[in-house]
Structure formats: structure tokens, C-alpha cells
Structure 1
Amino acid sequence: MERCVIPAGLFCLKLCRASSRWCWWRHLRARRSAIVAGLCFVYLLFAVLQVSPSSADGKRGIGTVPLRRHGGQNTHETPAPTRSNVVYITLRSKRHKPAVIRATVKPKSRRKKARTLAKHDAQAHGGNGRHEQDAWAPKRTNTSEPWTQIIHQALALYRAGHVEDGTDYPGSSIRIYSQKPPPWLSQEDMAHMRFLANSKVRQLERLQPEGSPAILLFKGAAQANSDPSECRGGCGVIKSPVDMSEVFAFHLDRVLGLNRSLPTVSRRFRALDSQLCPVTLWDPSISAVSGQLTWSSYQTSLKNKCWQRGAPKPEWNCSSIHHYEWSKVALFDFLLQIHQRLDQNCCGFRPRPEDSCVVLGYHGKCGVVDNVELSTIVHRRRDPHHLVFINNKGFFDRDEENLDFRLLEGIKELPDVAVGVLSSQRLREKLLQSLFLDQLYWDSQGGRQGIEKLIDVIERRAKVLLRYVNAHGVKVMPMNT
């Protein structure tokens, strides 16, 4: 048997090849391990750099939510409530400034004039801050000297017979492209809107109620030379252009099913330098509610639910207004932030320095609110139990963090129809359909884009109101009286 002899050179060559393969495989695993370790180190370093600033800032743990800023300071303790009737919580990452919306903010150049007029008005009433107002007279006056001069010029032109004002549109400025108006507007509403927008002005008259600002009244052909007390459905009240939000208020009232506001449209008058003005239907049967209504007596009437269960007791000192009417006006005023009726002293929010309640000294009396009188609480003489909403100038430039919750104080029930519209996600659709009818107002606000901004404000306030209803257990019930 022969032996197989392997030469030494060949053996060494094979041994070297095997050793090189083993070394290459060992170094490859080492390099992979080194790459993985390096990646882990970079990831840990990045995570430490991200966590360190948040831990140093207030030493909050991961997953904590920063508290909302109040007045520019971080409050990490339980804040003391500024109003006893607000219990819901709103978390915000940053403070949003309110949008500047057309016809809601007075130009800065007019502040000095408005303040001068307010001081003059205070001196004319004895400087005591108390006004014996007519039913149609607003507590907050925004008329300026140029507007007053325009009124005087218009009166002179009409009296001289140089102007016979009619519509400046080739057709009606109230547009409707269907056989029927929206269901929340009656045929009577549409007739009044067309009259206010298109009727010829045969007479212009300035009424000056005792102790109240002047009212500019226009009369149609059928009511010319008639007494204002006999002018039913044929006269309109022309207001200053800064009160243009009253047009929006009328449509909001109808969409919510309240039906307490008077028809209001926008219109241009050649004698008034063709300025766009809100025009409201004149109703001579409207008068102030008899008796003195103070904040204290108002809260007492809410507790006693006057007229809800028949005639009230004499010791309750109730007015003629039904209990449900206060719920309707509170909801309406909160959405539009109309404070003149229930909070003329601006005690429920932070007013601006140029606001009349500050200029006339009303805001300084918030410490004794029980004797503060309610303003513009009116009804029709033939219907004493129901309110009429007049002087409905709304404020769209007030932030959600500065809403007047005093308007809701003492309110335990709200109308189901209005709350149903607010929670049905159809408020925007209905307001767009309704406001589209008034072409002049629609165009003056910048078309649909401008109208959408106004509706945005109302929708945000509606969400706040619905949270308030849930937090305070406010009842939603039918109010068809």
C-alpha cells in the first residue's frame, strides 16, 4: 500500500488560505458590531439633547401639558376663577388675535372725535352718568361729527325738494333666485325688506326724543306728511354706517328661530353721500317696559320665573316680560356680544379705553351692580309679554378669552330651536343663504370670503356657549310662547 505524501509547500499554502478566510470573517463581524454600536451612540446622544431643554424648562415630566397663559404669565398652580359662573377649561398652545373684520372696528383717526362727543353727551345729561333714554335710543353712540353734518345736509336737500331718493340699483337689491324665500323668513319679512331696500323716499324727518339721540326717519310715498305715530310698515330708521352689523343680527335672529328683531337691510342714499347705511323698519307701537328694571330685580324675576306658571305674585315685583324672553335675549346677545341691554357698564368683560362705558364712567361702578339699570328693554304695547330686539349692534372683534359671560348669569333654560341650530352643524349654511339675499350688505363685506369670517366668529362663540350649557346643566326646552 502506497502512502500519499503531501508536499510541505502545498500544505503551507492551504493552511494560509484557511487562516486568511477565518481572519476575514472575524474582522467582518467586528466591523458590523462597531457600526451598530456607533449608530446606537449617535441615537442616544440625539435623544439626550432633545430631552434636556424640556426638563430644564420648568422641570416638567414627559407627557405633561403646559397650562394656558393668563395675562402673559405661566400659572402652574390652580388659577382662581375670575367669574364664578365659568367652569369649563380651554387649552391653547398660543394666544390668537381676533381677526380684523370690516365695519366692526372704528378707525383710529375717529377715536378723538368719538371721545369728545361722548363727553359732550355726558355734560348734556348733567354729568351723572344716568340717561333717561327713549326706547330706540342706544346707550352706545358711535356717530361722528362728519355723519352729523351729512344728516343736516340731507335734511336740507329733502326739505328744499331737490332730492327724491329711490333705489340706486337697476332692480331690487334684495335678490332671490327661487320661488320661495328661506323657511326662516316669512312673506311679511320679505315684503318689509323689499320696502326698506327699494322704496322711494318722499320725506326725511329727524325725530329728537327728550333726552335721547336723534332718530333719522324716512317715509315712503304712502306715508308722506303723516304723523310718525301713524306710520306702520311704511317708514324706516336710517342708522350710522358703523352700525352695519345690525343687518347680520336680523338674519341671525331669524335663522335661530327667535323672531324678535325688526327687519333690517342695507341701503345707499344719494342725499347721504351714497354711504351704505343699515335701515330698520319703524314700529311706532314699541315702548319701554314700564317700571324700573335693575340688575337685582332682573335676577329676582329669573328666580321667580315670572309668568311661566300663570300670573306672578305681587310681592315678586315682576315686569310684564315672560320668563322665557330673558333666555332668548341672553342667547342672542351672547353670540353677538351685545352688552348694552344687560351689561351697559361693561362689568362682564375688559372694555377698551375708547368704549363709551369707560369714557362716561359707567365701568367704574361695577362694584355696585345691583342698582345698575337694564337698557333698551322694550316691547310692543299690544304684546307686553314679549321683548323686541332693537339697537342690535354686534361686536365681532372680541376674542373668545374676553367674552361677556355676565349676559348668561341667572339663565337656567335656553330655547331648544336655537340650540338645535347651533349644534346641528348647519348654522353656516343657513346664514350664507339668508345673508345672500341682501346684495349690498354681501358685497360690502367682501363677498362670501368676508361673510365667512363673520360666521367663523359666531361659530366659535356657539361652541363656547354649548360647552357652558353642558358644564352648568342649563336645560334646553321648547319656548313657543
Structure 2
Amino acid sequence: MGKSRFHWLCFPFLRLTSSFRRRSLSKRRLIIASVCVVYLFFVVSQVGYSQQHRDRRTDKDKYRHNRGLYNLDIIDALPDYGGLQTGASFVVPTRSNVVYITLKTKRLKPANIRGTIRPKLRRKATRNTSANSAFTQSKLGPFGQIKRNFAPKSSWGETRDLDYKSLGLIHKSDKDAQTDSPISSIRIYSQRAPPWFSPNDVKAMRFLADAKVLRIKEVSHGDTPSLLIFEGDTHVSLTNQKHTKPNIVCEGQCGVINSPVDTTEVFAFHLDRVLGLNRTLPAVSRKFSFLRDGQPCPVVSWDASLYPVGLASGWSTVRLTWGEYQSSLKQRCWHKNITPKSDSGCSTIHHYEWSKVAMFDFLLQIHNRLDQSCCGFRPRQEDLCVELGHHAECGDQNHIQLTNIIHRGHDPRHLVFTNNKGFFDRNEDNLDFRLLEGIKELPEQAVSVLKSRRLREKLLQSLFLDQIYWESQGGRQGIDKLIDVIERRAKVLLTYINAHGIKVIAMNV
């Protein structure tokens, strides 16, 4: 039984071999050669498949180690900046580990923003408005330790160059300073910064956050609050250096240190870049051991091009009343590069700039530019416009002066958004719609960001770069509360656009 089964199993093989032997020698060689070719093709294909699979796994491992805060879609969508001389769009990651930010699909309950902003600090900061003190309580009152080391000034020409170490402002030795952690507080985990930051933005942020402080200066201009400026150790030249004249304030690259209560300067910078407006100066949060026991302070990039005539003349400011401003909106000054008539009353600012500043100020509820007298909302008794009596001027609105309308000396058509003191604790039933009065167009790029429902994602990615600001606001939970406010105002703004038939157009000027 076993032998018959064996013969039955081997019968096909025996028949094949016998037929092979009956073939001629040339045919047998051809069959053997064909079999060898088939076998060789099979072996080569198997080797190629295994190599391809290994390369694919290697690419996945590289991506797994290199990816960071920004996902692959965002990295692929970035423009190619290889043609730029600076090449700063390709940045070296500052951290080796990876931190991911996940977005919650739904918040369980509304955020209480007052717990984060601490209105008491702001109320305290706006009560003292003394003019000639070195640091007034309205802006730089918390700098009590350094305030005693400076004498009041009466003009910009009387600046004072002081070495902070000689003043004993830092209570640690040079040896301790050298042992500080070299890790930057600007966290860029991937090989590229977010696409809304320019190469100069990245350089300025890293300078403001990490540059070694060589000296500090206090300058003042008449009755305006003094500025505390630090000069850093860097070889990077100023972006607008060719448009500026040498001055005694800053010989290299500098930053202006603001009060710890002015943290909206940092948020405003990131919101401005995310919306694509690009009108604010770079700002970060930084801790100085010689100020307020190391409390985080907003630091804004110093730009000397805002003082083209010299520090004695102050800002390049446009002076307009509310009535003149509304008239310029109707005339669409400088639209399509048409020079307005001499008697038209137009300023040097391009028509589209007013749309950008109105949208920006509405989202942050900044009223110190277009509504200094607080005529468009219900102010509180502790607000500066009420304490100084400006709110009583609302009866004659056409003659109210606009303030903080600033441009660079070499660029009179475009505004620069400075002193961005926003309010996050203003409810939706008390928003300042006066900021949008007369506006008939809004920038398409900024509105598309609001409509895309990716505003939260982009702001989280952007604000996460500034580690000190992120932690000072309570981490992810505190940042989410701030973004909640902006998202609600964005919905109100989109409803306003639809209700008033405002056009959304490209404003690439």
C-alpha cells in the first residue's frame, strides 16, 4: 500500500524526467537556460522588494525623529525659500524632544477669562498718570527695583547708557551666568518655522529671547513714559538699518522692555502674523533677573525707522480727527495708486491700511488708536479714558483726535501697529463696534483664516514657540481661554460682515 502510494506521488515527476531525457541535447540546454533565467528574475525581484521595504521603514523612522510641533501637511505646504540669501526659513530645531498639541473637539463649559487676565493688576496700573517719573505706574510701575537707579529726563536727547552689572542689578556672578542653560526659550522642533513667520521674524524672536544683555538704557520724551531699552550681544544687523540714521539709543540690535501687565503685546504679534497682516513689531516674553524678581516681561523689537527725523521729533505720527478719518475712508485715499488732490484732506496712509487696523483692533478690542475716548462701548470707572476725562468728549465725536497712528519714515503708506493693549475680559454685548465704522472692505487673507476654522490650531502652534509666554499664561489651559475669546469675536465679526455687506478683497499693497 505504501509503495503504490509512493509511485503514485512520484509518477508525474518520473514522467517529466523521462520526457526530458528523450529530448535532443539542444532542447534540453534551452529548457535548462529558461529555468535559470526564471529563477534569476525571481531572486532579483525578491531582493529589490526587500530593499524598497527597508528604505520605506528608514524614511518613516527619519520622519518620526524629525517631526515636531507641526504636522507633515503643514511642512509640505511651506514655500521654498532656498532662493533667499538668508535661508532662515530652514531653521535648526532648538529642541531634541517632541511635544504634540492636540485639539479638543468640544469644550465642556465656557472659559472664565477673568481668572487669567487678572483685571486688578490692570486697574492698579492705570491710576497713576504722573508724567515726568522715570517709569510711570500706568506702564512701568512694577520696575520698582530699577526705577531708583535712573533720574528723570525731559527729552530724548538725554539718554543714559548704563552697564547693568555696574549698577548691581543682577545678583549673580559671571560664572553663574556662563552656566545658564543654552536651550532657547523659542521652541522650534521641526526644521521649518510656521509659514506665517518670515526669516527676519525668527531672527528677531531668537534675539529678543536669548541675546545676552550688554547694557540697558532709559530714554524719555517730554511727558511720555520712559522706555527701558536693552542692547544685546549679536552680530545681526537691523532689518531697516539702511533707512535709519545713527543715534545714541541703540548702536546694534535692541529690545524695548514693557511692563509685565502688557502681555497682550506678545499675543498681538502672533495674531497679526497668523492673519497675514504683518504690521506689528516682533515681541516675546522674557525674564530678567534684575527686574521684578524675574517676572516675565514683554520685550518688543526696537525699530529706529519709526523716528526718521530723530528721537527729538518722536514717532512718525499721522494726525487725524475722527471726522477727517471718516472722510478719508469715503474718498479711498491712494486707492489704485491714484494721488489724491491737495485739498482732499487725505493723509499719507493707503486706504487698505484702515481696514487692516480696524479688523485687528476689533479682535483684540484695542481702542487707543481709533477710539481713545471709549465712545464705542461702556467703559469702567477705572479705565484710563474715564479717569482722564476723555470719555466726556464723545458728545463732539468729529473733533476727537486719533492717536497712535504710526508709520515708518521711509514707508508713509503703511501703518505699524504699536502699543497693542488689548482687552480679553470684554463681553460680546459690550464690544467696540465703533472701530468698524466706515469700513467697507476687509482683507481676504485674514477673513479666510477666520472662516477656515483653523484659527485655534494656528494660534496654538504659533504661541507654543514662546515658552515663557506659554507658561506665564497657565500653559495650554490658559492659552485656550485667550483663544476662546478671539474665536467668539471672530464669529461676531463674520456675522457683521454678512449683515453689512462688507466686501472681502485681496489687499496686497
The TM-score normalised by the length of structure 1 is 0.71
Q: CA deviation at 1:228?
A: 4.2
- SS of equivalent to 1:316: coil
1:409/1:168 CA distance change after superposition, 3 Å:
farther
Does structure 1 retain, via aligned residues, the 8 Å contact 2:231–2:250? no
Q: What are the Cα deviations for residues 1-57 of structure 1, in whole angstroms up to 9, with x where unaligned?
A: xxxxxxxxxxxxxxxxxxxxxxxxxxxxxxxxxxxxxxxxxxxxxxxxxxxxxxxxx
Does structure 1 retain, via aligned residues, the 8 Å contact 2:162–2:217? no
Counterpart selection for 1:306 from 305, 330, 333: 333
1:17 aligned residue: none
Q: CA deviation at 1:316?
A: 1.0
1:143 aligns with 2:139: yes
1:170/1:356 CA distance change after superposition, 3 Å:
same
1:160 aligns with 2:172: no
- SS of equivalent to 1:285: helix
Greater RCO, CA 8 A, separation 6+: 1
1:373 aligned residue: 401
- CA distance in 1 between counterparts of 2:178 and 2:324 reads 47
Amino acid at match of 1:303: K
Does structure 2 retain, via aligned residues, the 8 Å contact 1:340–1:375? yes
Q: CA deviation at 1:315?
A: 1.5
Aligned length: 365
Q: CA deviation at 1:410?
A: 0.4
1:240/1:169 CA distance change after superposition, 3 Å:
farther
Amino acid at match of 2:302: W
Q: CA deviation at 1:255?
A: 0.2
Does structure 1 retain, via aligned residues, the 8 Å contact 2:322–2:399? yes
1:197 aligned residue: 209
1:462 aligned residue: 490
1:22 aligned residue: none
Does structure 1 retain, via aligned residues, the 8 Å contact 2:142–2:260? no
Does structure 2 retain, via aligned residues, the 8 Å contact 1:104–1:396? no
Q: CA deviation at 1:369?
A: 1.2
Does structure 2 retain, via aligned residues, the 8 Å contact 1:97–1:399? no
Amino acid at match of 1:179: Q
Structure 1 residue runs without a partner (length 5+): 1-95, 126-137
1:444 aligned residue: 472
1:178 aligned residue: 190
Q: Summarize the alignment of residues 229-378 of structure 1 with structure 2, pairs less than 5 Å apart.
A: 231=251, 234-272=253-291, 273-287=293-307, 288-289=315-316, 292-309=319-336, 310-378=338-406
Q: CA deviation at 1:320?
A: 0.7
Amino acid at match of 2:257: I
Q: Summarize the alignment of residues 10-159 of structure 1 with structure 2, pairs less than 5 Å apart.
A: 99-103=113-117, 105-107=119-121, 111=124, 114-115=126-127, 117-118=128-129, 120-121=130-131, 142-143=138-139, 145-153=141-149, 158=164
- SS of equivalent to 1:366: helix
Q: What are the Cα deviations for residues 330-356 of structure 1, in whole angstroms up to 9, with x where unaligned?
A: 000000000000000000001110111
Does structure 1 retain, via aligned residues, the 8 Å contact 2:285–2:468? yes
Q: Which moved more, 1:236-245 or 1:146-155?
A: 146-155
1:166/1:446 CA distance change after superposition, 3 Å:
farther
- SS of equivalent to 1:192: helix
1:46 aligned residue: none
Q: What are the Cα deviations for residues 94-151 of structure 1, in whole angstroms up to 9, with x where unaligned?
A: xx9963142452349x63x742x13x44xx79xxxxxxxxxxxx9x973364434444
Q: Which moved more, 1:374-383 or 1:407-416?
A: 374-383
Pairwise CA RMSD of aligned residues? 2.7
Q: CA deviation at 1:314?
A: 1.2
Q: What are the Cα deviations for residues 215-251 of structure 1, in whole angstroms up to 9, with x where unaligned?
A: 110001359xx8445546x100000000011111000
Amino acid at match of 1:298: Y
Does structure 2 retain, via aligned residues, the 8 Å contact 1:166–1:198? no
Does structure 1 retain, via aligned residues, the 8 Å contact 2:282–2:300? yes
2:414 aligned residue: 386
- CA distance in 1 between counterparts of 2:118 and 2:371 reads 19
- CA distance in 1 between counterparts of 2:364 and 2:195 reads 23
- CA distance in 1 between counterparts of 2:442 and 2:488 reads 18
Amino acid at match of 2:188: I
- SS of equivalent to 2:429: helix
- CA distance in 2 between counterparts of 1:169 and 1:142 reads 34
1:253/1:200 CA distance change after superposition, 3 Å:
same
1:367/1:177 CA distance change after superposition, 3 Å:
same
Does structure 2 retain, via aligned residues, the 8 Å contact 1:104–1:397? no
1:97/1:202 CA distance change after superposition, 3 Å:
closer
Amino acid at match of 2:335: Q
Q: What are the Cα deviations for residues 55-102 of structure 1, in whole angstroms up to 9, with x where unaligned?
A: xxxxxxxxxxxxxxxxxxxxxxxxxxxxxxxxxxxxxxxxx9963142
Structure 2 residue runs without a partner (length 5+): 1-109, 151-160, 236-245, 308-314
1:145/1:189 CA distance change after superposition, 3 Å:
closer
Does structure 1 retain, via aligned residues, the 8 Å contact 2:186–2:206? yes
- CA distance in 2 between counterparts of 1:290 and 1:433 reads 34
Does structure 2 retain, via aligned residues, the 8 Å contact 1:260–1:387? yes
Q: What are the Cα deviations for residues 262-296 of structure 1, in whole angstroms up to 9, with x where unaligned?
A: 00000000110211100000001114445531111
- SS of equivalent to 2:304: coil
- CA distance in 1 between counterparts of 2:460 and 2:147 reads 33
Does structure 1 retain, via aligned residues, the 8 Å contact 2:281–2:417? yes
Higher CA-based Rg: 1
Q: CA deviation at 1:396?
A: 0.3
- CA distance in 1 between counterparts of 2:137 and 2:330 reads 33
Amino acid at match of 1:187: P
- CA distance in 1 between counterparts of 2:342 and 2:137 reads 37
- CA distance in 2 between counterparts of 1:339 and 1:170 reads 40
- SS of equivalent to 2:369: coil
1:169/1:324 CA distance change after superposition, 3 Å:
farther
